[in-house]
Structure formats: C-alpha cells, structure tokens
Amino acid sequence: MASKEAPRRCVVWFGHSGNEERALLAQAGWCTRVADAQLQDGVGARRDDIVVAMADLRQGGIDAVQSMMQVMAMHPWLPWLALVPPESAAHSTEVESILQASAEFFTMPVDMQRLIDTLTKFAVPSSAVIEEDITGIIGTYSHAMRAVVASLQKFASVDLPVLITGETGTGKEVLARTLHRLSARRERPFVAINCGALPPNLVQSELFGHERGAFTGANTRRIGHFEVATGGMVFLDEVGDLPLDAQASLLRLLQEGTLERVGSSQLIRLDVRVLAATHVDLESAVARGSFREDLYYRLNVLRLRVPALRERKDDIEVLAQHFLGAFHEQHGGRVRVFSSDALRALRDFTWPGNVRELINRVQRAAVMAESSLISAGDLDLQNLQLAADRSSLGLSRVVAEREAVLACLRESHFNISECARRLKVSRVTVYRLCKKHKVTLDELRGNGKFMGRPATAA
C-alpha cells in the first residue's frame, strides 16, 4: 500500500529569490514557490503543505511595496516574513506597515541560518489558508468571523434550513451565497428573494407560481421562484415580511416538501433547501403574532449570527484594503493605502451600516484623497458618527417602536402583563414605553382606539 506523502515545507516567495538562497533552502528541506505580487494569483499551496510567506522588498519601487501590501491584506492568515534592502532602514510608511504585519524581518546580507530557523518557527499547515480562499469571504481574521466560517462549513453539508441573522449590511447574503457554493447543491440554482419587496397581493404567485386563469391577468401559467430553484437553494431575505398566508405555504413546503401553484390543487413535490435572513428580531414578531411560531422553529434549526462590524474590528483593515484595491482596479488613480490615523479611525467608528457603509466610506475617501495615502479626514467619519447618533434617536425609529407597542397592547387586550410577556420585557418597561409614546391606557381601554400623538424625535 502506498504510504501517505509527507507534507511539503514551502516558502511562498513574493518577489525574486536568488539561486543560492533557493539552493540553501532546498538543502534545509524547504521548497520555494515564487509568486508574483502583481498577479495576486493566490498562494498556490497544496492542502497538506506547511507554508510561510516571504514579502521580498529588495526589488521594485513603491509600486512593488504597495502590491505587496495588498497581497498581505488578502492573505492575513499566512505567517509573513519580510526581506528589506538596507537603505529602507529609513522606512516609508508603507514599508513600516509591512514590517508591522510581518512576524520577523531580515536585512541584507541575509543570515540564512536565522532565516531557516525562523521559517520553521512560523510555518503553518496551509489548510487554514486554503479554507479561507475557498469561502471567498473577505475579512475572517477576527474570532467572531472565524466562528461564523466554521459554522458555515458545517452547515454547508447538512440539508436543513438555516436562519441568518445580523444587522443591515453585515453580509448575510454574502454568507448565504457562500454556503450555497460550499454545498453539494452548488451546481443547482441559488434564488434570492427579498420578501419585503414582493407586491403584497402577488406574494403567493411569485413564490409558488400560478396556473393560467388563476386570477384576473393570469393569462399564462407561471412557475414560481421555488420551482425555479429546484435542486438548489432559495434565500428568503427579510423573511419576517412574509404575509401569513405565504408563511403557511412555506411551512408546508418545509414539512412535506410539496407546494401548490395558485389556482391549482395539484401537489408538486419539490427538493429545495431554504435559507432565510432577517435583520429584525423574529422572536418578537412571533410574540406579536405576525410570524408563525411553528414556521420560526422550522427555519431556526441552524442559526448563523453574523456579527456587526464593530464586533470584528480585526477584520476592518483587511476589508477596507480589499475595497480600496477593488476601487483602484475599477477606477484607477494612485490612492493605494491608508495612513495609520485613517486605520485607527476605521477601527474606532461604530459602523451602524456595517460592511456596506465601509464600502461607501472607502470609495468616497479614495475620491477625496489628495495624496497616495488616505487620511482620517478623507474618511470623514466624525460627521457620520454625529448623524448616526442622531438617527438612532430618529423619528422613524420612534414611530416604529410606538407602533409595535400599540400593536402588542391591542393583541394583549390592553393587559400589561400579557403585553410584557409577549414583548419579553418587564411590566415597568411597558409602562415606560407607554409614557414615552404618550399612549394613555385608560383612554385606549375605554374607546378601543388610540387618542395620543406620536412623540417627536429629540
């Protein structure tokens, strides 16, 4: 029986290694894979390889240094070593950040023995690096995102619904698409549906299809989104917005694997995996009665909670660098890097709009920047923070909160204890909310309708 091949030990060398260096490394059991930082074609390691990366800055000017920064940002899980020419002892900001991101650096002439010892010390199995490449998710350096990726990889192979929760712009759809790509259904369709955007009277027909003549205007038979996704996955974004009749049909599909087109009583058997996402609290929608409890339990078998960007500060720099690189590729220009002040500002900001907002800020800064460095000022985050603080007290949120309390009070027949139980808050909180929104309970109970006025934003 053939014995399992021993893992290769491999230095992924970005730049040009000398013949003599390669020979000495080979003698010590290290193969050198020369990679081109300009091409950014991945690390090219095999799954079982033990790898370490070298940022060789001995040749090429500022462009080479900037490409190296991008490559390093793309592979944050690789252990990096750096090789710098002696004159860059008076380092530029860019070289400084490369040295900061490297485990160790070497100057000329290179002490090969120390280099070989350092390779051995920092090399890691490439499986960790390769897994990140497979998921295609940018910014998985933080503990929070590593946990998400680990769950995603487990969930990919289990044919059960997944409920993806997280604030707006955190990447729920990105993760849903990744899950599809990692699953055995990857060759079959991925159909994304924004439940909130479906015309209310057409939800059933959009999702499940209709027969000719099912309703006025149904001149032909129409196949719904679920049937289109046969064998693949349906991603129900904002699932909390599904009307109750569509919820019942979805429940039947999940329980029995069947659907009925509108205007037909024929049951159609369907193999489709359902992923659902929500940025609102489905539990309180269940408590309010606007979301079916049985459907909630069906969808919530596997749960993926996507952390807000402020909970994964370690990913911000990689993401920002990625979006800047993408901007540069599309629009050109000389802006390639962030100043250390800008990086600090990115880390300190609270990012209410999460990754989506980060993309906007980076693009804006790339347009505004006066030099090749993006400064903290170019990001203009201070004004944004003020606006975010204000909007968190904003009118729309106040109105939404008032509506939710009112709806729940009505459903609880104005019984405070019942309302508190449904909203999963204390009775005192219900009284406080009533006071805040000028909801007069006695009037409500007496008239059966509300007499107060909405509170205005501070």
Ligand X SMILES: Nc1ncnc2c1ncn2[C@@H]1O[C@H](COP(=O)(O)OP(=O)(O)OP(=O)(O)O)[C@@H](O)[C@H]1O
Q: Which H/E stretch holds residue 258?
A: strand 258-259
CB of 240 to ligand X, least distance (A): 11
Question: Among residues 48, 133, 173, 380, which is the contact residue for Mg ion, using CB under 5 A?
Answer: 173
Quick check: 181 binds ligand X (CB under 6 A)?
Answer: no
CB of 76 to ligand X, least distance (A): 13
Q: Which does 174 bind (CB under 5 to 8 A by kind): Mg ion, ligand X, none?
A: ligand X
CB of 166 to Mg ion, least distance (A): 9
Query: Are 126 and 48 spatial neighbours (Cβ–Cβ below 8 Å)?
Result: yes
Give the residue with the Cβ less far from ligand X, 177 or 222: 177
Question: Among residues 120, 168, 284, 360, which is the contact residue for ligand X, using CB under 6 A?
Answer: 168
How big is the site for Mg ion, counted in residues (CB under 5 A)? 2
Separation of alpha carbons 284 and 306, rounded Å: 19
Quick check: 279 binds Mg ion (CB under 5 A)?
Answer: no
Q: Which residues contact 418 (CB under 8 A, 6 or more apart)?
A: 412
Separation of alpha carbons 433 and 421, rounded Å: 14
Quick check: 172 binds ligand X (CB under 6 A)?
Answer: yes
CB of 152 to Mg ion, least distance (A): 16
Burial (CB count within 10 angstroms: exposed 0-12, middle 13-18, buried 19+), residue 187: exposed
Task: Determine if the peptide bond prior to 109 is cis (ω within 30°).
Answer: yes
Footprint on residues 326-385 left by ligand X (CB under 6 A)? 355-356, 359
Both ends of the chain: CA-CA distance in Å? 76
Footprint on residues 230-259 left by Mg ion (CB under 5 A)? 237
Query: Are 273 and 156 spatial neighbours (Cβ–Cβ below 8 Å)?
Result: no
Quick check: 169 binds ligand X (CB under 6 A)?
Answer: yes
Question: Among residues 79, 161, 171, 224, which is the contact residue for ligand X, using CB under 6 A?
Answer: 171
Residue tagged 């020369």 (tokens): 34
CB of 281 to ligand X, least distance (A): 13
CA-CA distances (angstroms) from residue 114 to 90, 106, 187? 23, 9, 48
DSSP 273: E
Question: Among residues 22, 91, 188, 279, which is the contact residue for ligand X, using CB under 6 A?
Answer: 279
Q: What is the CA radius of gyration of the chain?
A: 28
Q: Which residues bind Mg ion (CB under 5 A)?
A: 173, 237
Residues in contact with ligand X by the rule CB under 6 A? 137-139, 166, 168-174, 237, 279, 355-356, 359
